Amino acid sequence: MSRYIIRRLIQSFFTILVITTVIFVVGRAAADPMAAYTNNPRITAEDKARIAHNLGLDRPLPVQYLTWLGDVARGDLGTSFVTHQKVSDMIMERLPATLALMISALIATVIVSLIAGVFAATHQYSAGDNLITAATFIGFSMPVFFIGLSLIFIFGVGFKAWGLPYLPTGTDIWDQNDPIEWARHLVLPVLTLTLIQAAGYTRYLRSSLLDVQHQDYIRTAKSKGLADRAVLWKHALKNASLPFVTVLGLDIALLFGGALVTETIFSWPGLGRLFWEQSNAGDFPVMMAILLIVVTLVVVGQIVVDVVYTFLDPRIKLA
């Protein structure tokens, strides 16, 4: 397995190199770092030329990319064009909020998906199965912003208007050192992400369990007199979770980059919101740093998923 992991890591390096090259070229074409100075009448053409030179924007694009790549190799993610802070400091400042949101949403999603998926598969075509199926279709079809705004309207604006205990919507000023305030402000963003993600996970798990339940080894386990619960949790669920783990591995990596829409709707101070704010300002170094993190985690996450496969299914061998 160690040889496989080393080979995959080498392949991942070149994959990340290609992806970052494309992102760099497309990003520079889409975002103009000098946009903030273009329409400012107090800045002369000479000032703009000097700013572009100081930022390295007057050099050829390949040279800019190689310079950025060399800085990243040394652990330097650059300096923000807008705030003039180190990009690494900006990311570390927002990372705890993203981790809190990601871990909470991930735990809630896995719990809901396991309960709903197993129940739907073991009670096929029952009223509960039909209800769960309808709920997952609704979760698939509704965009994130609609669910987020709906939750704000119900549990924030509506409950407050009705005189009921309401949840904060992110528009207030709160003490980020208070764990209770953290928990209160986490509820709606976590609920939004859970409703969206659990819909897909539940469908994957239900479908996989239904396929596995008709396999020969399941019938053999039942014929040996094993209880239905033991067959389900020790045999069926272990093999049915392979597609579940695949999707989960991808989503974990993506969530590290921040849930952009959710964090923006609820004004959550995470990496997703940072990316949105700085991309609107044309802050290219911050954009590239966050995208680099997401790309790296997605690629490495796939290696982790492959390794997890071997523990879930001994028939899978990594060579």
Q: What is the DSSP string of 235-297?
A: IIHHHHHHHHHHHHHHHHHHHHT--HHHHHHTT--SHHHHHHHHHHTT-HHHHHHHHHHHHHH
More confident of the two residues 49 and 34: 49
Rounded to whole angstroms, how far apart are CA atoms 301 and 252?
Answer: 8
| CA-based torsion, 309, 311, 313, 318: positive or negative | positive
Q: H or E stretch including 36?
A: helix 35-38
Give me 270's structure tokens: 């995470």
What does the pLDDT read at residue 38? 67
Residue 39: band (very low, low, confident or very high) from pLDDT cuts 50, 70, 90: low
| pLDDT at residue 258 is higher than 60 | no
Q: What is the arithmetic mean of pLDDT over 293-306?
A: 82
For residue 319, the model assigns a pLDDT of 60
| Span 208-250, pLDDT tens digits | 888 887 777 777 777 877 777 777 777 777 777 777 777 777 7
pLDDT in tens, 155-202: 988 888 888 888 888 777 777 778 888 888 899 999 998 988 888 888
Q: Note the pLDDT of residue 35.
A: 67
Q: Give the confidence band of 88 by pLDDT, cuts at 50, 70, 90.
A: very high
Residue with tokens 């400042």: 93
